[in-house]
């Protein structure tokens, strides 16, 4: 599917953004491991969230989807049905659940998109080998063996999803465990989100020091009701629309959230963006943007939109610690370089630093590619609203991974969008 985006000034609009995908994944997993019924509310369904729901159903949870709600009848017993677990394109689903499914004491096979299966899984490969657990990784991943408690050492500069996967699993083992994180500890905020959700479901895990997590063994998850916060990573897109086009109001946010992508507000302010706080959200106002240096170490998902936004800031913006963007749904640095150049923009990079020189007119020279990446689609679409001419983007169905209603919300802002095959 392709999208044509017609440049236009957006009308002042109020947008209720989707729930935090990060928190929804975590809550559904915890509820599925708890005896009893949990109600998870303010849920927006996407391919990634559906992948986690399906996986937990394979594990024996009974899950009913309603409008913006998931009713989960979980079980502390691992009634795995023996079917292959399809993570589709969801790195969270795969990495969170590999150690959880090891407790089935059965062979389990995970499948997913080609890109997902190519992403590194070295943390689990090394850990499982050390514990004499079978771990075979080719075009799928097959495990056979039960994770053991004890002390586990992990490099902190590899995805925090591995740490979270262990945090979901280790409390269910008979004995206590420790996770020792070798610095630098990147994306710590995502680990903090996992600890927050564990506490809500009555599971104890905490920092003994800056780099050591203690996990008490022989615990049980308790069913509960939980309302998922709105997603700060999605706020990046409509916030940017407000800054480069016209005012946008975004609501339904937890202002003291632990989400690492809340750093988008600091990034906008460093670029001289005007943000007004309201009771449950923010108003983003058209701003005279200036270049800034921004560290993406703990918020790599913000990269694509910030690169696009920087094209409209005076001077050279520098984005450091960007290496992990190269192993996402696409190589997001290379993808944004290719596509922004098609829009008459000046962007370059080293392995882990991105340079953007603004301010240049947005002029579409050819059809843009999504690189089958939801965040690339959304970042390019926001920039397209201020183009000198119509912008076409291919494979925009990639948004279904996280934000299926993205174009609907863009239209609510008065932007003309045509979708066609």
Phi then psi for residue 384, to 5 deg, are -60, -25
Residues 22 and 92: their CA atoms lie apart, in Å, by 8
Closest C-alpha among 85, 97, 107, 98 to residue 29: 97
Asked if pLDDT for residue 158 goes beyond 90, the answer is no
Regarding pTM above 0.85, the answer is yes
Closest C-alpha among 130, 51, 120, 125 to residue 85: 51
The question of whether 295 is a catalytic residue gets the answer no
Tokens of residue 316, six digits: 């050279």
Q: Per this entry, what is the length of the chain?
A: 421
Structure letter (DSSP) for residue 163:
H
Closest C-alpha among 170, 22, 134, 261 to residue 180: 170
pLDDT tens digits for range 247-285 = 999 999 999 999 999 999 999 999 999 999 998 999 999
pLDDT tens digits for range 22-33 = 999 999 999 999
Q: Which residues of 198-216 are buried (b: 16+ CB within 10 A; e: fewer)?
A: bebbebebeeeeebebebe
At a CB cut-off of 8 Å and minimum separation 6, what does 118 contact? none
pLDDT value at residue 165 = 98
pLDDT tens digits for range 218-237 = 999 999 999 999 999 999 99
pLDDT tens digits for range 109-127 = 999 999 999 998 999 999 9
Catalytic residue among 48, 247, 261, 301: 301
Residues 19 and 26: their CA atoms lie apart, in Å, by 12
Provide the greatest CA pair distance for the chain. Answer: 63
High-pLDDT (> 70) share of the chain, %: 100
Closest C-alpha among 60, 61, 102 to residue 81: 60
pLDDT value at residue 159 = 87
pLDDT value at residue 12 = 77
Asked if pLDDT for residue 5 goes beyond 90, the answer is yes
Phi then psi for residue 315, to 5 deg, are 100, -170
């Amino acid at each position: 599917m392709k999208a044509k985006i017609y440049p236009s000034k957006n009308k002042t609009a109020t947008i209720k953004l989707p729930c935090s995908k990060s928190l929804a994944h975590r809550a559904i997993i915890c509820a599925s491991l708890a005896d009893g019924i949990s109600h998870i509310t303010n849920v927006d369904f996407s391919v990634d969230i559906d992948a986690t729901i399906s996986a937990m159903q394979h594990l024996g949870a009974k899950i009913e989807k309603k409008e913006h709600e998931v009713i989960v009848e979980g079980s502390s017993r691992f009634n795995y049905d023996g079917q292959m677990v399809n993570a589709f394109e969801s790195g969270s689903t795969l990495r969170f659940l590999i150690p959880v499914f090891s407790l089935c004491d059965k062979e389990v096979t995970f499948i997913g998109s080609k890109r997902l299966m190519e992403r590194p899984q070295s943390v689990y490969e090394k850990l499982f080998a050390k514990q004499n657990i079978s771990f075979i990784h080719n075009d799928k991943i097959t495990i056979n063996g039960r994770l053991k408690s004890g002390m586990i050492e992990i490099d902190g500069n590899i995805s925090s999803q591995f740490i979270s996967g262990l945090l979901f699993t280790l409390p269910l083992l008979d004995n206590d465990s420790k996770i020792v994180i070798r610095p630098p500890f990147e994306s710590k905020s995502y680990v903090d989100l996992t600890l927050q959700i564990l506490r809500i479901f009555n599971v104890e895990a905490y920092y003994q020091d800056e780099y050591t997590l203690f996990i008490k063994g022989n615990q049980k998850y308790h069913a509960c009701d939980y309302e998922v916060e709105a997603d700060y990573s999605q706020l990046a897109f409509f916030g940017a629309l407000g800054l480069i086009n016209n005012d946008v109001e975004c609501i339904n946010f937890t202002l003291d959230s632990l989400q690492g992508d809340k750093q988008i507000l600091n990034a906008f302010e460093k670029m001289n963006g005007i943000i007004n706080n309201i009771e449950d959200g923010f108003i983003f106002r058209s701003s005279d943007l200036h270049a800034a240096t921004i560290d993406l170490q703990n918020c790599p998902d913000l990269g694509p939109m910030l690169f696009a936004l920087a094209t409209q800031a005076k001077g050279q913006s520098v984005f450091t610690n960007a290496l992990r963007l190269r192993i996402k749904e696409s190589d997001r640095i290379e993808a944004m370089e290719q596509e922004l150049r098609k829009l008459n923009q000046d962007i370059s990079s080293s392995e882990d630093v991105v340079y953007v020189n603004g301010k240049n007119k947005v002029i579409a020279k050819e059809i843009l590619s999504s690189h089958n990446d939801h965040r690339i689609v959304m970042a390019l679409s926001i920039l397209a609203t201020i183009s000198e001419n119509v912008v076409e983007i291919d494979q925009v169905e990639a948004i279904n991974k996280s934000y299926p209603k993205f174009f609907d919300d863009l239209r609510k802002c008065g932007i003309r969008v045509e979708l066609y095959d």
